[in-house]
Amino acid sequence: MQVRQSFVGNDESYVLIIKHNSHLYLVVIPCTEKHGFICYDEKKPHKKFYLINKYTTWLEAQSHCREHHTDLVSGLNQLEDEELKEEIKNTYFREYWVGLFRDNWMWSDGSPSSFRHWDHIGNHQTIRKCAMTMLDKTGRWKTDDCREKKSFFCYDDKVILINENKTWEEALYYCRENHRDLVSITNHHQQRLVKEKAKKADSPFVWLGLRYTCTLDFWFWVSDEVVSYKNWASPGQKDECDMSGAMDRGGQHQWISQHDNEKYNFICSKF
């Protein structure tokens, strides 16, 4: 897949996939245009991609995908999927939004800022560089001059990456002594939260509060929560007893079983 053109400037710009003469190209354009869009759904393995033949802005497309599926199609692995490319070539729409964009907004803690809930679409007045939320039922966002005085919200991070290499047992004791426990992941939202922390690790994996018991032959969270949500890269090993669960720092951030005496960074929870 090739990039056909670039949108130059400091304004927001978003990416389309365009079909032309049986070839597919990525084109960077302003977000105010309206096109079809492609969602992906990681919970439905038999139907992963959804081509939505409806004209919307990029922000409207993102909201639709996050409400009804997982998100706008994202990453080269998804965009290079042969079934998806074939489906695009066989549809009558020529242009679809994908989940790649560029803008100048960022969170103060440096975390990804892909989620948006604006009351307006873009406000390019250079003096309005700070965001605020409207305290009504919509909770939508607006921009204002950063020198204005307003009330504000603080937050306490409940998931903490420890950039020290320890065995699984050492990591468990550290978390219980200094916080609450090694982190548990029981749903997709928690998986995303822990994934963002894992990206900043200094080791190839990070320890989770996931443990295998030979006696009962199953995996469990040390917080006593049931392993109902699963995200294994492959089925957890069951032929050895001294195994615990870790998350891959890169790639798909899936879980993998590792020997307890390996030393990795780890993630603690405070709740």
* Runs of H (alpha helix) within 121-258: 168-178, 188-198
Closest CA to 260 of 158, 190, 130, 169: 169
Residues 6+ apart with CB under 8 A from 232: 254, 255, 256
The DSSP string of 154-193 is ----SEEEEEEEE-HHHHHHHHHHHSSEE----SHHHHHH
Fold observed for domain 159-269: Mannose-Binding Protein A; Chain A (3.10.100)
> pLDDT in tens for each of the 271 residues of the chain?
554 444 444 456 788 899 888 788 888 887 778 999 999 988 776 778 999 999 999 888 988 998 899 899 988 888 888 889 889 988 888 899 998 887 777 777 666 666 667 765 444 455 667 888 877 767 778 888 888 898 888 877 789 999 999 999 999 999 999 999 999 999 888 898 899 999 999 999 999 999 998 888 889 999 888 888 999 987 555 557 889 999 999 888 999 999 999 999 999 998 7
Looking at residue 259, the DSSP 8-state letter turns out to be E
Sign of CA dihedral 24, 28, 29, 30: positive
Measure the CA–CA gap between 245 and 183, rounded to whole angstroms.
Answer: 11
CB 207 within 8 A of CB 246: yes
Looking at residue 118, the DSSP 8-state letter turns out to be B
Domain boundaries for CATH 3.10.100.10 within the chain: 159-269
Read off the pTM.
0.51
Strands 181-182 and 255-259: unpaired
- Both tokens of 137, joined, read 């039922």
Measure the CA–CA gap between 157 and 249, rounded to whole angstroms.
Answer: 20
Q: How many CA atoms lie within 13 A of 55 on its CB side?
A: 4
Strands 205-213 and 264-269: parallel
CB 238 within 8 A of CB 217: yes
CB 219 within 8 A of CB 245: yes
